[in-house]
Protein backbone atom coordinates (compact mmCIF):
# COMPACT_ATOMS: atom_id res chain seq x y z
CA UNK A 1 0.00 0.00 0.00
CA UNK A 2 1.24 3.49 -0.80
CA UNK A 3 1.20 6.06 2.01
CA UNK A 4 -2.20 7.74 2.16
CA UNK A 5 -0.70 11.20 1.62
CA UNK A 6 0.61 10.24 -1.82
CA UNK A 7 -1.73 11.48 -4.54
CA UNK A 8 -2.26 9.32 -7.59
CA UNK A 9 -2.35 10.87 -11.05
CA UNK A 10 -3.25 9.64 -14.48
CA UNK A 11 -0.20 9.33 -16.68
CA UNK A 12 -0.04 11.83 -19.50
CA UNK A 13 1.24 11.28 -23.04
CA UNK A 14 0.06 14.06 -25.35
CA UNK A 15 1.16 15.31 -28.76
CA UNK A 16 1.81 19.03 -28.92
CA UNK A 17 1.37 20.13 -32.53
CA UNK A 18 1.48 23.78 -31.53
CA UNK A 19 5.08 23.37 -30.44
CA UNK A 20 6.21 23.73 -34.03
CA UNK A 21 3.38 25.92 -35.27
CA UNK A 22 4.08 28.56 -32.62
CA UNK A 23 7.84 28.13 -32.78
CA UNK A 24 8.01 27.43 -29.04
CA UNK A 25 10.19 24.33 -29.26
CA UNK A 26 12.08 21.95 -31.52
CA UNK A 27 11.20 18.91 -33.59
CA UNK A 28 12.82 16.78 -30.89
CA UNK A 29 10.49 18.28 -28.28
CA UNK A 30 7.43 17.50 -30.41
CA UNK A 31 8.66 13.94 -30.98
CA UNK A 32 8.89 13.26 -27.26
CA UNK A 33 5.18 13.94 -26.88
CA UNK A 34 4.37 11.36 -29.56
CA UNK A 35 6.25 8.56 -27.84
CA UNK A 36 4.47 6.09 -25.58
CA UNK A 37 5.79 6.59 -22.04
CA UNK A 38 7.98 3.73 -20.78
CA UNK A 39 6.67 1.32 -18.12
CA UNK A 40 6.86 2.74 -14.60
CA UNK A 41 10.19 2.06 -12.91
CA UNK A 42 9.51 3.48 -9.46
CA UNK A 43 9.03 1.45 -6.31
CA UNK A 44 6.80 2.20 -3.35
CA UNK A 45 9.55 4.12 -1.57
CA UNK A 46 8.31 7.28 0.10
CA UNK A 47 8.40 10.60 -1.68
CA UNK A 48 9.56 13.67 0.27
CA UNK A 49 7.35 14.30 3.29
CA UNK A 50 6.60 17.92 2.47
CA UNK A 51 5.55 20.10 5.38
CA UNK A 52 2.57 22.34 4.43
CA UNK A 53 3.70 25.82 3.53
CA UNK A 54 2.51 28.77 5.56
CA UNK A 55 -0.18 30.52 3.54
CA UNK A 56 -1.40 27.44 1.67
CA UNK A 57 -4.69 27.61 3.56
CA UNK A 58 -5.64 30.42 1.16
CA UNK A 59 -6.39 27.78 -1.48
CA UNK A 60 -8.32 24.49 -1.55
CA UNK A 61 -6.42 21.35 -0.55
CA UNK A 62 -6.43 20.00 -4.11
CA UNK A 63 -4.27 22.97 -5.23
CA UNK A 64 -1.77 22.76 -2.37
CA UNK A 65 1.79 21.47 -2.82
CA UNK A 66 1.65 17.68 -3.01
CA UNK A 67 4.16 14.88 -3.76
CA UNK A 68 2.79 12.61 -6.50
CA UNK A 69 3.77 9.75 -8.75
CA UNK A 70 4.04 11.07 -12.31
CA UNK A 71 5.54 9.20 -15.24
CA UNK A 72 7.30 11.22 -17.94
CA UNK A 73 9.90 10.87 -20.67
CA UNK A 74 11.62 14.00 -19.37
CA UNK A 75 14.45 13.97 -16.79
CA UNK A 76 14.33 15.15 -13.20
CA UNK A 77 14.45 18.92 -12.96
CA UNK A 78 11.97 19.46 -15.82
CA UNK A 79 8.78 21.45 -15.19
CA UNK A 80 5.61 20.16 -16.85
CA UNK A 81 2.46 22.29 -16.83
CA UNK A 82 -0.86 20.62 -17.66
CA UNK A 83 -3.23 23.46 -18.52
CA UNK A 84 -6.27 21.16 -18.75
CA UNK A 85 -5.80 19.97 -15.15
CA UNK A 86 -4.32 23.31 -13.96
CA UNK A 87 -1.31 21.71 -12.30
CA UNK A 88 2.42 22.36 -12.48
CA UNK A 89 4.72 19.37 -11.91
CA UNK A 90 8.38 19.64 -10.93
CA UNK A 91 9.93 16.27 -11.78
CA UNK A 92 12.21 15.12 -8.97
CA UNK A 93 13.08 11.56 -10.04
CA UNK A 94 11.84 8.55 -12.02
CA UNK A 95 8.05 8.57 -11.68
CA UNK A 96 8.13 11.28 -9.00
CA UNK A 97 7.07 14.91 -8.95
CA UNK A 98 6.02 17.77 -6.72
CA UNK A 99 2.63 19.07 -7.85
CA UNK A 100 1.36 22.65 -7.45
CA UNK A 101 -2.03 24.06 -8.38
CA UNK A 102 -1.85 26.96 -10.84
CA UNK A 103 -4.03 29.41 -12.74
CA UNK A 104 -3.71 29.23 -16.53
CA UNK A 105 -4.85 31.17 -19.57
CA UNK A 106 -8.48 32.04 -20.18
CA UNK A 107 -10.26 30.69 -23.27
CA UNK A 108 -8.33 31.95 -26.27
CA UNK A 109 -5.14 32.50 -24.25
CA UNK A 110 -3.97 28.94 -23.62
CA UNK A 111 -0.91 27.60 -25.42
CA UNK A 112 1.31 24.55 -25.66
CA UNK A 113 5.02 24.21 -26.23
CA UNK A 114 8.48 23.83 -24.78
CA UNK A 115 10.76 26.64 -23.61
CA UNK A 116 13.49 27.24 -21.06
CA UNK A 117 13.62 29.59 -18.10
CA UNK A 118 15.79 32.49 -19.27
CA UNK A 119 15.55 34.79 -16.24
CA UNK A 120 14.48 34.74 -12.60
CA UNK A 121 13.39 37.83 -10.69
CA UNK A 122 12.34 38.48 -7.08
CA UNK A 123 9.41 40.87 -6.59
CA UNK A 124 9.41 41.80 -10.30
CA UNK A 125 8.02 44.99 -11.79
CA UNK A 126 5.02 44.46 -14.06
CA UNK A 127 5.01 46.08 -17.50
CA UNK A 128 1.77 45.23 -19.31
CA UNK A 129 2.46 44.19 -22.93
CA UNK A 130 1.13 46.41 -25.72
CA UNK A 131 -1.65 44.02 -26.72
CA UNK A 132 -2.94 43.88 -23.13
CA UNK A 133 -2.92 47.68 -22.90
CA UNK A 134 -4.85 47.83 -26.20
CA UNK A 135 -7.45 45.29 -25.00
CA UNK A 136 -7.94 47.19 -21.76
CA UNK A 137 -8.37 50.45 -23.68
CA UNK A 138 -11.18 48.90 -25.74
CA UNK A 139 -12.87 47.98 -22.46
CA UNK A 140 -12.57 51.55 -21.22
CA UNK A 141 -9.70 50.79 -18.84
CA UNK A 142 -6.26 52.36 -18.62
CA UNK A 143 -3.33 50.21 -17.56
CA UNK A 144 -0.17 51.80 -16.14
CA UNK A 145 3.07 51.52 -18.11
CA UNK A 146 4.73 49.91 -15.10
CA UNK A 147 3.74 48.68 -11.63
CA UNK A 148 6.63 48.51 -9.17
CA UNK A 149 7.34 45.17 -7.52
CA UNK A 150 5.67 44.51 -4.19
CA UNK A 151 2.70 42.78 -2.50
CA UNK A 152 0.18 44.64 -4.71
CA UNK A 153 1.93 43.72 -7.96
CA UNK A 154 0.05 41.24 -10.24
CA UNK A 155 3.28 39.25 -10.77
CA UNK A 156 3.56 38.51 -7.07
CA UNK A 157 6.71 37.50 -5.23
CA UNK A 158 8.72 35.84 -8.00
CA UNK A 159 8.77 35.54 -11.79
CA UNK A 160 10.38 32.91 -14.01
CA UNK A 161 10.61 34.18 -17.59
CA UNK A 162 10.09 31.68 -20.42
CA UNK A 163 12.28 31.92 -23.52
CA UNK A 164 12.03 35.23 -25.34
CA UNK A 165 8.25 35.28 -24.97
CA UNK A 166 6.00 37.41 -22.80
CA UNK A 167 4.99 34.31 -20.85
CA UNK A 168 6.07 33.79 -17.25
CA UNK A 169 5.50 31.53 -14.30
CA UNK A 170 4.81 34.02 -11.53
CA UNK A 171 3.13 34.66 -8.21
CA UNK A 172 -0.14 36.47 -7.77
CA UNK A 173 -1.91 38.93 -5.50
CA UNK A 174 -5.17 37.08 -6.31
CA UNK A 175 -4.83 33.64 -4.64
CA UNK A 176 -8.50 32.85 -5.34
CA UNK A 177 -7.61 32.60 -9.04
CA UNK A 178 -5.50 29.47 -8.43
CA UNK A 179 -7.15 26.49 -10.11
CA UNK A 180 -8.93 28.74 -12.61
CA UNK A 181 -8.55 29.76 -16.26
CA UNK A 182 -7.82 33.36 -15.35
CA UNK A 183 -4.70 34.75 -17.03
CA UNK A 184 -3.65 36.09 -20.44
CA UNK A 185 -1.38 33.08 -20.94
CA UNK A 186 1.02 33.31 -18.00
CA UNK A 187 1.09 30.60 -15.33
CA UNK A 188 0.09 31.94 -11.92
CA UNK A 189 1.09 30.33 -8.64
CA UNK A 190 0.38 31.08 -5.01
CA UNK A 191 3.19 33.37 -3.81
CA UNK A 192 4.34 30.74 -1.31
CA UNK A 193 4.45 28.17 -4.12
CA UNK A 194 6.37 30.29 -6.61
CA UNK A 195 8.93 31.15 -3.91
CA UNK A 196 9.36 27.41 -3.27
CA UNK A 197 9.68 26.60 -6.99
CA UNK A 198 12.04 29.56 -7.53
CA UNK A 199 14.40 28.13 -4.91
CA UNK A 200 14.45 24.71 -6.61
CA UNK A 201 15.04 25.47 -10.31
CA UNK A 202 17.89 27.31 -12.08
CA UNK A 203 17.92 29.42 -15.23
CA UNK A 204 17.98 26.97 -18.15
CA UNK A 205 15.31 24.67 -16.70
CA UNK A 206 13.09 23.13 -19.39
CA UNK A 207 9.38 24.02 -19.10
CA UNK A 208 6.92 21.91 -21.10
CA UNK A 209 3.32 23.11 -21.39
CA UNK A 210 0.67 20.60 -22.47
CA UNK A 211 -3.09 20.93 -22.81
Query: pLDDT 10s per residue in the chain (211 long)?
Result: 434 334 434 333 333 333 333 334 444 444 444 444 343 333 335 566 778 899 999 999 999 999 998 999 999 999 999 999 999 999 988 888 999 999 999 988 889 999 999 999 999 987 776 777 677 677 777 766 667 777 888 899 999 999 999 899 999 999 999 999 999 899 999 999 999 999 999 999 999 999 8
Residue 105 DSSP label: E
pTM above 0.85, yes or no: no
The domain made up of 18-210 has a fold known as L,D-transpeptidase catalytic domain-like (2.40.440)
Listed residue (102, 106, 80, 82) closest to 190, CA to CA: 102
Q: Which helix (H) or strand (E) holds 130?
A: helix 130-138
Cα gap 123→140, rounded to integer Å? 28
Question: Which residues are known to be catalytic?
Answer: 170, 186
Cα gap 144→6, rounded to integer Å? 44
Q: Contact, 100 vs 82, CB < 8 A?
A: no
Cα gap 10→88, rounded to integer Å? 14
Domain boundaries, the chain: 18-210
Angle at the Cα of 28 from the Cα atoms of 22 and 34, rounded to 5 degrees? 85
Amino acid sequence: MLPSWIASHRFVAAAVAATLVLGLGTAADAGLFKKTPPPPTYTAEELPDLVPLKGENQIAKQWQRTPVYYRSTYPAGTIIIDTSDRYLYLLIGPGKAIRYGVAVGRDGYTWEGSMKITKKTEWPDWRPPADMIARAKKEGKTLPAVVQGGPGNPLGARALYLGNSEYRIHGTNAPKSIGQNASSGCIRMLNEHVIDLYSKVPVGTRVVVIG
